[in-house]
Amino acid sequence: MPPSSIQLFDAHAHFFTNDIERYPVDVTGARETPEALMERLNRDPSTAARVLSLWDECGVTGGAAVQYNTVYKTDNSYTLDVADAHPDRVAAVLILRANEAGAPALLDTLAGSRNVSGLRLFGYPDADGNYPWLDSPAALATWDVAAAHGLAMVVMYAPGKPSHAALRRIIALARRYPQTVIALDHCGWPGVEQGDAGTIGAEHLELVDVPNIHFKFTQINFNRFAETGIDAAAFVKRLVDTYGAARVMWGSDYGNTQNSYAEMVEQAIAATALLDDADRAAVLHDNGARLFGGKRG
């Protein structure tokens, strides 16, 4: 239980259910084997009832239901149903393939009729090391719809290391859509191999003067830091000093990363210990709530 003076907003929670008859799953391509993933899904589902109970226990006022690609791919049914059933606590961040022909119309329908606050784009580089799924002409039609609805764009590029190729495309998109907030999942992959000083390297420093690009740190970052000896609190302080507190937020990655929720909250609070009270409140609660809470109710 965090101190009563500290509130949190979870900008990155994954929801899934073991009711696979109502909500079919697609576990192809997961890091876990299909058998291990199905066992976890049945044993430890990240249902709305469970997550909201954990939020109540841990001082979390609300959060973003980030579509869980590992289990559902682009079938956003469960994420949408959770967000619609709990509009006072949750808003949906969908996953669509932005460059698919039907994506703009589908996004337009869902954003106009359901409790949606954002769209998440995820993908790998092509054979030439580029990321055309971010900004191809077809993808830009989806970006146009997201901008028209005032949605946040959440970007996770793979593999998990800093990439000039990905980040420079994201910079160009941020400048093309200056009113759209772009949130980088897992902070756009800090360069953990270079130690503390390398966590914000040359690739990320190019983002300093692009104010609508924001940074979401998660338990994935904390676990990598623990493996590589990086001080999480020093990293968060460096993030805030580099980009400003208004561009930084916390998300748990609960439902994917296997730490307990209480541990995730404890580590998030510890990682903000070097911030003053105002910046800490912004990073742990206010920024996420502003970005992903706007469609609620």
Alpha-helix runs per DSSP H in 151-260: 164-176, 202-205, 219-228, 232-243
CATH number at residue 97: 3.20.20.140
2: in domain:
no
Per residue in 166-191, pLDDT (tens digit) is 999 999 999 999 999 999 999 999 99
CA distance 229 to 219: 15
220: in domain:
yes
Per residue in 93-146, pLDDT (tens digit) is 999 999 999 999 999 999 999 999 999 999 999 999 999 999 999 999 999 999
Q: Which amino acid is at 216?
A: K
Range of the domain at 244: 8-292
218: in domain:
yes
CA distance 244 to 249: 11
Residue among 119, 209, 123 nearest 165 (CA): 123
Distances (CA, A) of 208 to 39, 53, 215, 242: 43, 37, 11, 7
- Please name every residue paired with 217 in a beta bridge, in sequence order, or none if there are none: 250
Could you count the other beta carbons within 10 Å of the beta carbon of residue 139?
A: 21
Structure tokens at 37: 């993933």
Residue appearing with tokens 């901008």: 147
21: in domain:
yes
Residue appearing with tokens 């973003």: 64
Residue 198 confidence (pLDDT): 85
Q: How many domains does the chain have?
A: 1
pTM: predicted TM-score of the whole model, two decimal places? 0.96
Percent of all residues in the chain with a pLDDT value above 90, rounded to a whole number? 93
Per residue in 45-96, pLDDT (tens digit) is 999 999 999 999 999 999 999 999 999 999 999 999 999 999 999 999 999 9
What are the DSSP calls for 131-151, one per residue? -HHHHSHHHHHHHHHHHHTT-
CA distance 76 to 142: 16
Per residue in 132-155, pLDDT (tens digit) is 999 999 999 999 999 999 999 999
Alpha-helix runs per DSSP H in 63-214: 69-72, 77-85, 103-113, 132-135, 137-148, 164-176, 202-205
How does strand 60-66 pair with strand 90-95? parallel
Angle between helices 219-228 and 261-271 (to 10 degrees): 70
Burial environment of residue 159 by CB neighbours within 10 A (0 to 12, 13 to 18, 19 or more): exposed
Structure tokens at 116: 């949606």
